[in-house]
């Protein structure tokens, strides 16, 4: 095997061909191919004998590491040795603990210069009457409570491919259902969070029209949702043009039961079809793209291949005047100091730290710690600690200045690179970003996540070639090519072009399989009473 070391600054772009060592200060290397016990491998021109069998994507010690000494990857601390580790030993959960980090936040001390603006690029989007730009054209059936979920699904199922064949400009009718909506404090934090999420989907440009279905007696009243968030609706056939559009709300108890509600809602949606279908894509600036970035089913290659490549695409979007969102706050922990330095102000940096502190307290309430992450699959793929996972995850945010930090499902109003607070659970995180306004999502995965999210297209990016080839029907881009010699920049540009194509109407692999009906997942933070 030909091993070549490339040394870069922390989380900077690196060219990875046969590279195993990512930074001069690292005391571990990344295994590109499985290494057998007793075999020799080379780092920096020196041969080292493997003392353990080490799986693909995992870490192997390149120098002696003392007990309690920091383990370094990307030039950053990812944990501490629980015992002495010899060169050639497998470095993983059996001999590493997260420990406590001492981080220098240095707020706003390393604000990057704004990238050179790129102004002439467009994509084929859907311009709504109010000026917002959509990438898809859906009708939504929005449940206020789990009690109306089945009714909502019945309505959506009435509009199958055969029905919609006569309406080629409609991407589908999607039931946005969930498991909550009652048994908590009226107007409390959980109620407000659910209402903000539901409203974000109802008002999303990819939802051309919608019906809100409630039961009638729930805490999450449809009237509260409409009044609190100023919901509006497409004008229905027969309405006066000057009439103020109103949200379409039906409560099962008021209508007279499930059958009557489904029949009435189905008739209403049927009347909507001609108007929703009457759209035409047109060239719009790339600045109208709001990208949601997610990583799930991560492995040891995520922070080396797919995530940095998404970071390149993020930077390109920012240069075009667009917006890129980083989420999953618990998976920022351990790398937050790299973001606070990029924050445009101390205020923005402290917003991020406040969310991280909230997460630590939140986890403690339930007897957990924030470093309970990574998941079982993450560890099988080579990730050892939350710090290692976080350092790789934040690479999706590229290298531009951090403009602002938003609450979950809070409407994003600033251009550029931003953060939205969310859990690490993929479905919840993407739901929040879509509610905040994301109209395209990219999802990196090393283990093979099968994710889709109606009404927003999701581009899946594999971190390694074996998984890409194994799950080729689910993966849109193979970032594993970076391990075979492609540059991070090259793959990042490929991702950027795919974002443009998908925003213009090209189907993703998940869309082609119809995935995305069950992935709407509002965040539950409080007790159910």
Q: Alpha-carbon distance 432 to 294, whole Å?
A: 11
The per-residue pLDDT for 1 is 26
The per-residue pLDDT for 33 is 82
The per-residue pLDDT for 239 is 54
> What length is written for the chain?
529
Beta strand extents in 169-221 (DSSP E only): 172-176, 207-214
**Token duo for residue 107:** 């707020």
Q: Which of 213, 208, 210 is nearest to 152 (CA)?
A: 213
In tens, the pLDDT along 386-443 reads 999 999 999 999 999 999 999 999 999 999 999 999 999 999 999 999 999 999 999 9
Q: Find all residues with CB under 8 Å of 262, minimum gap 6, and list them.
A: 151, 154, 155, 158
The pair phi, psi for residue 218, each rounded to 5°, is -70, 165
Q: Alpha-carbon distance 146 to 152, whole Å?
A: 10
The per-residue pLDDT for 240 is 52
Q: Taking every pair of C-alpha atoms in the chain, what is the biggest distance, in angstroms?
A: 81
**Strand ordering across the sheet containing 207-214:** 172-176, 138-143, 207-214, 248-251
Contact 499, 440 (CB under 8 A): yes
**Token duo for residue 369:** 């710690």
Residue-wise DSSP of 406-464 = E-TTPPP---EEEEE---S-HHHHHHHHHHHT-SEEEEEESS-----BTTB-EEEEESS
Cα-atom radius of gyration of the chain, to the nearest Å?
24
The per-residue pLDDT for 232 is 81
Q: Is 204 helix (H, G, I), strand (E, B) or coil?
A: coil
The per-residue pLDDT for 244 is 59
Low pLDDT (below 70) residues in the chain: 1-20, 234-245, 372
Q: Alpha-carbon distance 360 to 366, whole Å?
A: 10
Q: Alpha-carbon distance 138 to 167, whole Å?
A: 11
Question: Which residue intervals of 219-373 are DSSP H helices?
Answer: 222-229, 252-255, 258-277, 306-319, 336-340, 346-365
The per-residue pLDDT for 17 is 31
The Cα-based distances of 509 to 21, 281, 299, 420, 452 in angstroms read 33, 21, 21, 26, 9
Q: How far apart are the first and last CA of the chain?
A: 60
The per-residue pLDDT for 291 is 98
Contact 78, 31 (CB under 8 A): no
The Cα-based distances of 31 to 381, 447, 514 in angstroms read 11, 16, 36
Residue with tokens 């040891």: 300
The per-residue pLDDT for 526 is 83
In tens, the pLDDT along 275-300 reads 999 999 999 999 999 999 999 999 98
Q: Which of 122, 116, 460, 502 is nearest to 318 (CA)?
A: 116
> 387-390: long-range contacts at Cβ-Cβ below 8 A with a sequence spacing of 24 or more?
387/76, 387/77, 387/78, 387/79, 387/98, 387/101, 387/333, 387/334, 387/335, 388/73, 388/78, 388/79, 388/303, 388/334, 389/298, 389/302, 389/303, 389/331, 390/331, 390/332, 390/333, 390/334, 390/335, 390/336
């Amino acid at each position: 095997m030909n091993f070549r070391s490339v040394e870069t600054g922390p989380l900077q772009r690196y060219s990875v061909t046969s590279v195993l060592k990512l930074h001069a200060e690292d005391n571990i290397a990344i295994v590109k191919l499985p290494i057998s016990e007793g075999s020799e491998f080379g780092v920096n021109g020196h041969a080292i004998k493997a003392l353990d069998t080490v799986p693909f994507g995992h870490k192997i010690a390149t120098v002696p590491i003392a007990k309690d000494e920091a383990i370094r990857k990307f030039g950053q601390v990812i944990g501490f040795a629980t015992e002495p580790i010899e060169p050639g030993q497998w470095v993983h959960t059996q001999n590493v603990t997260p420990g406590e980090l001492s981080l220098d936040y240095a707020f706003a001390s390393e604000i990057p210069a704004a990238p050179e603006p790129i102004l002439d690029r467009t994509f084929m989007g859907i311009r709504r009457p109010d000026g917002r730009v959509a990438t898809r054209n859906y009708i939504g059936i929005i449940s206020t409570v789990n009690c109306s979920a089945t009714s909502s699904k019945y309505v959506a199922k009435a509009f199958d491919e055969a029905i919609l064949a006569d309406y080629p400009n409609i991407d589908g009718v999607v039931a946005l259902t969930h498991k909550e909506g009652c048994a908590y404090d009226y107007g409390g934090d959980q109620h407000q969070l659910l209402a903000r999420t539901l409203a974000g989907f109802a008002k999303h440009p990819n939802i051309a029209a919608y019906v809100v279905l409630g039961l009638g007696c729930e805490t999450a009243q449809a009237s509260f949702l409409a009044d609190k968030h100023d919901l509006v609706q497409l004008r229905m056939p027969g309405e006066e043009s000057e009439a103020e559009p109103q949200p379409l709300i039906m409560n099962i108890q008021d209508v007279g039961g499930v059958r009557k509600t489904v029949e009435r809602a189905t008739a209403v949606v049927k009347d909507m079809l001609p108007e929703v279908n009457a759209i035409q894509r047109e060239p719009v600036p790339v600045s109208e793209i709001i990208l949601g970035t997610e990583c799930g089913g991560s492995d040891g290659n995520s922070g080396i291949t797919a995530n940095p490549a998404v970071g390149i695409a993020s930077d390109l979007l920012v240069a075009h005047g667009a917006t890129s969102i980083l989420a999953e706050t618990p998976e920022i922990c351990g790398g937050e100091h790299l973001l606070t330095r990029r924050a445009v102000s101390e205020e923005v940096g402290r917003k991020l730290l406040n969310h991280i502190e909230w997460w630590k307290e939140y986890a403690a309430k339930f007897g957990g710690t924030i470093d309970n992450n990574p998941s079982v699959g993450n560890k099988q793929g080579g990730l050892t600690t939350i710090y290692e996972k976080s350092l790789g995850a934040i690479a999706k945010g590229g290298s531009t200045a951090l403009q602002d930090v938003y609450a979950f499902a809070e409407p994003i109003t600033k251009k550029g690179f931003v953060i939205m607070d969310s859990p690490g659970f993929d479905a919840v995180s993407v739901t929040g970003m879509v509610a905040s306004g994301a109209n395209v999502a990219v999802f990196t995965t090393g283990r093979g996540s099968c994710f889709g999210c109606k009404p927003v297209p999701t581009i899946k990016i594999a971190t390694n070639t074996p998984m890409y080839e194994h799950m080729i029907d689910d993966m849109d881009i193979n970032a594993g090519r970076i391990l075979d010699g492609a540059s991070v920049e090259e793959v990042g540009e490929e991702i950027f072009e795919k974002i443009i194509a998908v925003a213009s109407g090209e189907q993703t692999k998940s869309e082609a399989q119809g995935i995305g009906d069950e992935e709407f997942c509002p965040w539950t933070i409080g007790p159910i009473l």
